[in-house]
Structure 1
Amino acid sequence: MVGDMTRRHVLSRSLALGCTAAASPFVSSVSFAQTSGENRLVVIILRGGMDGIDVIRPFGDPNYSLARPTLASDPSRADLDGFFGLHPAFGGLMPLWDAGELAAVHAVATPYRNKRSHFDGQDLLEAGLTTLDSEHGGWLNRALQLVPGAEMRTAMGLGQGVQRVLDGTAPAGHWAPDADLSLSLETMERARRVMSEETAFLNAFTQAEMLSSPVGGSGQMAALHKGGMHVNIARYAADQLQQDTRIVAFSLNGWDTHRDQRRGMAKAAELLIEAILTLKRELRPDIWGQTTVVTMSEFGRTVAENGSKGTDHGTGGVMLLAGGAVRGGCVYGEWPGLDEAQLYDRRDLLPTADVREMTAWVLRASLGIDAGDLERTVFPGLKLGRDPGLMM
């Protein structure tokens, strides 16, 4: 366990071994938290603005194909409920839908509007506030402060940045290594000897070694390194969730699809699908049955496709929920329609639900947080409406 060890401390040891600071193999941030309950929660931030209209396609809306003559022309979508269909690149998730372990909430958004900046949108998404405010940390950190017996246990933060969703006064340590750990066996052994002087450093180095992707390896290490970094993260997360860890948060990039959206969406979908299915495969069935995976993105995209066969920054989007604790097989939310007069600013999907409210209901079911605390502390200013019934 890294504890409150800083990134600088670990890097100082790594640099002493001659590791370069320029070739990090890590592509995402991941943090772990420990609580006293049995439910598990995995939060995946999809960075770039996922096009919810493309992922959960409203083929029953007559304006859908008119607004997207190219993107809507693929007939191979999977019918979900007679109105919505699943993007063909997400077909790997259909077994979860059929098993009642996958759901979607459509036409959702944060309070962020108009400027459509990735940076501001992601900050507001992870802060869980109505305005940009750097003093209150992330909503998941505030939630942890309300869970009796909760203890932040950070394995490490992987990547070039730290996720704000877990920033705050609850004890947390983040590590974003900038060292390429694809080293020779001799150097790796020398690293272990240096790190072994202090248990915290040794544990940190061992976890970083597991999450990097060197060639070769055997046993558990070889199994871990099959697949890309997103698979390694999901596999390692599953291992931790079967121990004391109860909450995991990480991010996946690649959802900014201004051009050639079919290609870009397929690549991004592959990462997400593999991450979710790895979690399901690696978790024991009883633990998967207590797990909720929630995906969210900073905003949706324009209803109309652009001249580059992509879409631009928009407003309303979609949340995906997976896991044995989810009441799946349903697309939740109020569909606003795609007629121009029904759009937000006459260009975007009109939000009919707040990402914060849907997340609050997940937190209430997963962590048992009081509704008043969710409204006052976790998501200040939020007014919870009727329970949408997302959870079992």
Structure 2
Amino acid sequence: MDLTRRALLRGGLTLGCSAAAFPLMTRVTFAAAPGDNRLVVIVLRGALDGLAAVEPYGDRDLAAMRPTLTTAGKKGSVDLDGRFAMHPALSPLAPLWGAGELSFVHAVSTPYRDKRSHFDGQDLLENGGGRADGGMTSGRDGWLNRALGLLPGAKAQTAIAVGRENMLLLDGDNPALSWSPDSDLALTPQALDLYRMISAQDPLFDAAAREAAALDAERDMAGGEAARRVDAASLAALSADMLRGEARIAAFSLGGYDTHRDQDRTIRKPLGQLAEAITTLKAGLGPIWERTAVMCVTEFGRTARENGSRGTDHGTGGLMVYAGGALSGAKVHGDWPGLKPSDLYQDRDLAPTDDLRRHAAWTLRGLFGMEIPALEREVFPGVSMGSESRILA
């Protein structure tokens, strides 16, 4: 039988063992690419309220839209540029802003419009297609996977998806690895037979599985089940571990951003987790941080007006968060549309003024030198990259 690693990963052949037996079958995603630059993509699931994370306190219409939710001037909020303030839960990132290693892009969106479904919105976000109805590319693959096809010399270790869940972002024809920090590597006899059969034909798989077992043993020695808990810090720490090696791209997701009720309280935890993930990445990457860009994206924004439950509902225009030593400096980017009722999208949402995919495309070009026509045609079909975003140095 001709059994290859790709056939195993695509076909789901397990011979009776659980998927968790092999960390490459679980949900941490990494990719290896030529060059020294690194990219981390963090998907913020649930629709981050960008107006809370980076509050436009300089907009005179904000107070009328959000009489109980404004945080600028409150303890812990961080004034950025006289127009915008960072939420207190993100205050651990203030040193990065001071060092020119943190930026934001306001009023961005994918082409997805009006239905405001988390599932459809996230699919389109990760697929990178250009259809407003949420329809995906014919291959139903991820834009980051398609980008790997533009990297000469890219191999499975170049990109890694980290975490328990499947990430469409790295699904597709190009090889990428998946790994979860809480994978249990205790193998059944059937799994051991499968492992021996695969590794005999593929030294690359053998080396990756051995490294996974070693890392898992280290976590066990550090505290067993508690040490393998999947949280923002563990996802970021594992990503940093891989990026210090052959991997050049890592992707994982963080949830909790669906803040329909009592947003002042409920948004603090997920924002704190985002801050923890970014600071953990910086600490874990060490000198590699200088060549790294972290790009955080969400499926859509939230309503400009707070609702009757002191929360916000599904919206349109959202926020991108960037961090890393590869940035050009600290800045709130974007064409701010304003919060006057007449300026809102459908009289409810922050109006999107730019395509999120355009900035993602420029990020790939800046880090890995991908050609503009290929990015516009193959990675983000239908996007026009336009003028350079200048987020990266």
Q: How many Å separate the matches in 1 of 2:302 and 2:207? A: 44
Change in Cα spacing, 1:115 to 1:211, as seen in structure 2 (3 Å) is farther
* Structure 2 letter corresponding to 1:387: E
Change in Cα spacing, 1:159 to 1:96, as seen in structure 2 (3 Å) is closer
* Structure 1 letter corresponding to 2:276: E
Q: Give, in angstroms, the shift of residue 225 of structure 1.
A: 3.0
Q: Give, in angstroms, the shift of residue 135 of structure 1.
A: 2.3
Structure 2, unmatched stretches of 5+, are 200-204
Aligned residue in 2 for 1:316 = 317
Change in Cα spacing, 1:380 to 1:190, as seen in structure 2 (3 Å) is closer
Q: How many Å separate the matches in 2 of 1:175 and 1:388? A: 32
Q: How many Å separate the matches in 1 of 2:174 and 2:37? A: 20
Contact 2:121/2:300 (CA < 8 Å) preserved in 1? yes
Q: Give, in angstroms, the shift of residue 195 of structure 1.
A: 7.6
Aligned residue in 2 for 1:91 = 91
Q: How many Å separate the matches in 2 of 1:341 and 1:230? A: 39
**RMSD, aligned CA:** 3.2
Q: How many Å separate the matches in 1 of 2:274 and 2:242? A: 19
Alignment of structure 1 residues 170-209 onto 2, 5 Å: 170-174=174-178, 181=184, 197=196, 199=199, 200=205, 203-204=208-209, 207=212
Structure 1, unmatched stretches of 5+, are 22-27
Contact 2:54/2:85 (CA < 8 Å) preserved in 1? yes
Q: Give, in angstroms, the shift of residue 338 of structure 1.
A: 0.1
Q: Give, in angstroms, the shift of residue 206 of structure 1.
A: 6.0
Aligned residue in 1 for 2:369 = 368
1:297-330 superposed Cα distances (whole Å, 9 cap, x missing partner): 0000000011111100000010000000012310
Aligned length: 372
Contact 1:71/1:305 (CA < 8 Å) preserved in 2? yes
Q: How many Å separate the matches in 1 of 2:217 and 2:276? A: 17
What secondary structure, in the 3-state scheme, does the structure 2 residue paired with 1:321 have?
Answer: strand
Aligned residue in 1 for 2:298 = 297
Contact 1:6/1:174 (CA < 8 Å) preserved in 2? no
Q: How many Å separate the matches in 2 of 1:39 and 1:240? A: 13
Alignment of structure 1 residues 219-238 onto 2, 5 Å: 225=227, 229-238=231-240
Moved more, 313-322 or 127-136: 127-136
Aligned residue in 2 for 1:140 = 144
TM-score, L = length of structure 1 = 0.85
TM-score, L = length of structure 2 = 0.85
Contact 2:105/2:319 (CA < 8 Å) preserved in 1? yes
Contact 2:100/2:328 (CA < 8 Å) preserved in 1? yes
Contact 1:6/1:173 (CA < 8 Å) preserved in 2? no
* Structure 2 letter corresponding to 1:89: A
Moved more, 164-173 or 323-332: 164-173
Aligned residue in 2 for 1:33 = 31
Aligned residue in 2 for 1:107 = 107
Q: How many Å separate the matches in 2 of 1:328 and 1:30? A: 30
Change in Cα spacing, 1:119 to 1:189, as seen in structure 2 (3 Å) is closer
Aligned residue in 2 for 1:161 = 165
Contact 2:40/2:249 (CA < 8 Å) preserved in 1? yes
Q: How many Å separate the matches in 2 of 1:80 and 1:311? A: 23
Q: How many Å separate the matches in 1 of 2:149 and 2:183? A: 35
1:184-224 superposed Cα distances (whole Å, 9 cap, x missing partner): xxx6899997786454479548637846997x614xx88x9
Change in Cα spacing, 1:145 to 1:360, as seen in structure 2 (3 Å) is same
Alignment of structure 1 residues 1-392 onto 2, 5 Å: 3-4=5-6, 5-6=8-9, 8-9=12-13, 12-14=16-18, 29-73=27-71, 75-76=74-75, 77-131=77-131, 132-133=135-136, 135-136=138-139, 137-153=141-157, 157=161, 159=163, 161-174=165-178, 181=184, 197=196, 199=199, 200=205, 203-204=208-209, 207=212, 210=215, 217-218=221-222, 225=227, 229-285=231-287, 287-392=288-393
Contact 2:39/2:294 (CA < 8 Å) preserved in 1? yes
Moved more, 125-134 or 92-101: 125-134
